[in-house]
Structure 1
Amino acid sequence: MRTIHAATLLRRTLDDRPVADTAVLVTGDLIEAVAPAGELTAAYPGVRVRRWAGMLGPALVHDGPLPPAPTPRERVHALFGLGAAAVLADRVTDPGLRAAAARNGVALLASARPPELVTGGRADLAVFADDGSCVATVVAGRLVHRRA
């Protein structure tokens, strides 16, 4: 299934200058294209379009312990609420937490890497409000967090 994610502003890396009127086309769990929103909606009529208020960019790599919560599942979902889709593997040693991360598509990385929106790359996206809070998180193409 294809989805176009469009936001007020977009940046491909955390250090890039934000660009207006740009969107990400996601097919399955991969990024198919990053292009002007108008071009994508014209080229793919009928595709679901999710429009977000805020800054769309790559989901974060969480480099600390997962947020505290009563269950491993809730700890993973708390991570999504921060806009993260990946975590350093050495921070997830508990078997129950590791299983919950795997079930939810969290990428377990051997070392930190700067997140980036890349055509052909895994569709890990996040949208942040002006105050830095996470509006939405997409992990491997699935919307896993949306602020009410």
Structure 2
Amino acid sequence: METIHTAREVRVSWSSEPIRDGAVVVGRDRIGDVGTFEDLRERFPGARVRSWPGVLGPARVHEGPLPAAPTPRERVHEVLKLGAVVVLEEHAGTPELRAAAERNGVVVWPSAPSPVGEPCIRRTGRADLAVFDDTGACVATVCAGRLVHRRR
């Protein structure tokens, strides 16, 4: 089943112009399409809709050490709560952290992306999304199509 994630603004990349009243269609772990909510709702009438307050865009890369927490699983979850689904190899060097990342769908990259390689939402790409409110706090994180964090 597809899900349409919608927000007042959608950013294909964090440096791109916003799509006002935008939306992203997610099917399983992939992006089906991105555009205006009105257009996508018409094209995917059977999809469920999740409306988010704030700005929706690609999930982020966590470039620093993973936040402190009692267990590797909780450290990875803290990253997800920040809107990131990618961590850097230098900060996930232990077998326990790598295993926790893998179990949660978090990707381990060898190095930080260049501005050209920044995360983006693209058709058929992995469905990694994040929603941020006006203060910059993460409202929701979608990792490989699964809602893994939602602020209450």
For 1:138 and 1:34, locate their aligned partners in 2 and report how far apart those are by CA, in whole Å. Answer: 15
| 1:81-120 aligned within 5 A | 81-113=81-113, 114-120=118-124
Unaligned stretches of 5+ residues in structure 1: none
Give the letter aligned to residue 100 of structure 1: A
- Detail structure 1 runs of 4+ shifted over 6 Å in the superposition: none
Question: What residue number does 1:129 align with?
Answer: 133
Following superposition, the deviation at residue 42 of structure 1 comes to 1.3
Give the letter aligned to residue 132 of structure 1: G
For 1:88 and 1:4, locate their aligned partners in 2 and report how far apart those are by CA, in whole Å. Answer: 29
Unaligned stretches of 5+ residues in structure 2: none
The alignment partner of 2:8 has SS state of strand
Instruction: Report sequence identity in percent.
Output: 55
Matched, 1:142 2:143: no
Give the letter aligned to residue 128 of structure 1: F
Query: RMSD of aligned C-alpha atoms?
Result: 0.9
Aligned residue pairs: how many?
A: 148
List per-residue Cα deviations over 1:46-67 (Å, max 9, x = no partner). 2111000000000000111111
| 1:21-32 aligned within 5 A | 21-32=21-32
For 2:34 and 2:112, locate their aligned partners in 1 and report how far apart those are by CA, in whole Å. Answer: 24
For 2:98 and 2:69, locate their aligned partners in 1 and report how far apart those are by CA, in whole Å. Answer: 15
